[in-house]
Structure 1
Amino acid sequence: MIWIIGGTKDGRDILEKLVDEKNKKDILISTATSYGGELLKKYTSNNKKNIQVICKKLDEEQMEKVITEKNINTVVDASHPYAENVSRSILKVTKKLGTKYVRFEREMLDYGDENVFKFETLQEMNDFVLKYQNKNILSTLGSNNLEEIKVMGEKNNLFVRILPTTASIQKAENLGYLPKNIIAIQGPFDKNLNLAMLKSFKIDFLITKESGKTGGEKEKIDACKEFGTTVLILKRPFVNYRNVYSDIDKLINHI
């Protein structure tokens, strides 16, 4: 059985390719949230390929249990580039058990140097932003980092773009974000929609991650360049992956 660690469009794309290929192995795909599971329904509704789904966060002990109980012989790590704890855990577990591990890593974008600042940590980014006041800031980091960046709104007007789920909106409200500063909408977005948001909220700084070419990142950056918005980037964490591929077809050929 092949285990795809998903929760990303990459994971769904790999699953779709495996379903289309003459793959005779059973497939397990995992995602940390029930929302991620909802996005997989189109692949599991007919379930001709015996696709199994796990919708919860797994610690190392649970990962080891999945591999042994499901008789997993190959793990495809297609987790988000910023889910480094997931990758480090599964790297450790697969090495311990001798299970084949393959990583899908998104290609990086060339952000250029004009109006672009990169930061190793959110604390560094906070320190940079707090030098300014009365700026309009749009965070596209999602709901996971709402608490860490909230300080930016002390001297500035901080908007947060998050998923339109009850959990995400509730988290933002519990942290004290006002409804007028919460943009709850499902991406990815084309350049024109990104541009419309930048113009509507007169955004001076846009916060993003080095997420790569998947998921509308290029369109977001292109909109910033056109409107003159400064881009603040949280750098991608370093993980010492094994067997890394940025091409899905080559990855599938390897497994």
Structure 2
Amino acid sequence: MKAVVFSGTTEGRVFSRQLAALGAQVLVSVATPLGAEEQGEADGITVHCGRLTPEEMTALLQGAVLCVDATHPYAVDATKNIRAACAAAGVEYHRLLREESPLPAGSMVFATAAHAAAFLAGCSGNVLLTTGAKELAAFAPLSPERLFPRVLPTREGIAACEAAGVPHRNIIAMQGPFSYALNCALMKQFSIRYLVTKDGGAVGGFAEKAQAAQDTGAQLIVVRRPAENGQTAAQILARCKEVLV
């Protein structure tokens, strides 16, 4: 039986391997070459690399018994498109949830990156941005000299920083998750006063960032995670055993 997993996340990679171990033929869809590299090769798993339109998602789902959406918690548009594609293809849909993190006392929480940027416009001090290249445009109104974006070491990541006018000396192009020690070192090196992050959960290194901000005296700013409904990996695997094996 065929199952499709839309992934590009740590939990998606783990889940796809668990699913293949049940004997299912798993097609993993990732958006970028980096996602394909991280997914790697494994028995029972085929990887499709490239961003898909809703129509292409529907075509990819043909013949599948079940689909698991394991995309990033903040990838709202991707989840919307995957749900619609499953409905169009008549394929059972499941959303794999990533557990939320407890927010430390003193955290500042904003609904969007733009709201966080508006707050920072009234402050002074350097800002470590760990919200990803796609959110950089929201911080363009701030002085680029203040911004220290941490982005993936890809052409797209660097290009987004350049488009936002960020000086090359401020660009931190690295792939995480990052340790507490490395977060502290970067924040001290660049005299960071504010750390902006999403709640990426344990697999996204949220706790390490939060602790580093606290211990270096920086203000932690969190872009709120979109509300959604879904299931745990154990719950979805139980369903997969019923329909795939």
Scaled by the length of structure 1, the TM-score of the pair is 0.88
CA contact (8 A) 2:128 2:195 kept: yes
Distance in 2 of aligned mates of 1:55 and 1:37: 6
2:117 equivalent in structure 1:
126
2:46 equivalent in structure 1:
52
Distance in 2 of aligned mates of 1:168 and 1:219: 22
| 2:227 paired with 1:251 | no
Please provide the CA RMSD for this pair.
1.6
Question: Gaps (5+ residues) in structure 2?
Answer: 241-245
| 2:3 paired with 1:2 | yes
Structure 1 runs of 4+ aligned residues shifted over 6 Å read: none
| 2:166 paired with 1:177 | yes
Letter in 2 for 1:253: A
2:214 equivalent in structure 1:
225
Distance in 2 of aligned mates of 1:210 and 1:152: 23
Distance in 1 of aligned mates of 2:13 and 2:98: 14
CA contact (8 A) 2:99 2:201 kept: yes
Distance in 2 of aligned mates of 1:27 and 1:147: 36
- Deviation of 1:72 after TM superposition, in Å, equals 0.8
1:29 equivalent in structure 2:
28
1:18 equivalent in structure 2:
19
- Deviation of 1:24 after TM superposition, in Å, equals 2.3
- Deviation of 1:166 after TM superposition, in Å, equals 2.5
Aligned pairs (5 A) from 1:76-115: 76-114=68-106
Distance in 2 of aligned mates of 1:140 and 1:150: 15
Scaled by the length of structure 2, the TM-score of the pair is 0.91
Letter in 2 for 1:94: C
Question: Gaps (5+ residues) in structure 1?
Answer: none
Secondary structure of residue in 2 paired with 1:39: helix
Secondary structure of residue in 1 paired with 2:143: helix
CA contact (8 A) 2:6 2:69 kept: yes
Letter in 1 for 2:36: G
Letter in 1 for 2:126: N
Letter in 2 for 1:161: R
- Deviation of 1:141 after TM superposition, in Å, equals 1.1
CA contact (8 A) 2:177 2:203 kept: no
Letter in 1 for 2:104: G
Letter in 2 for 1:196: A
Fraction of identical pairs, as percent: 31
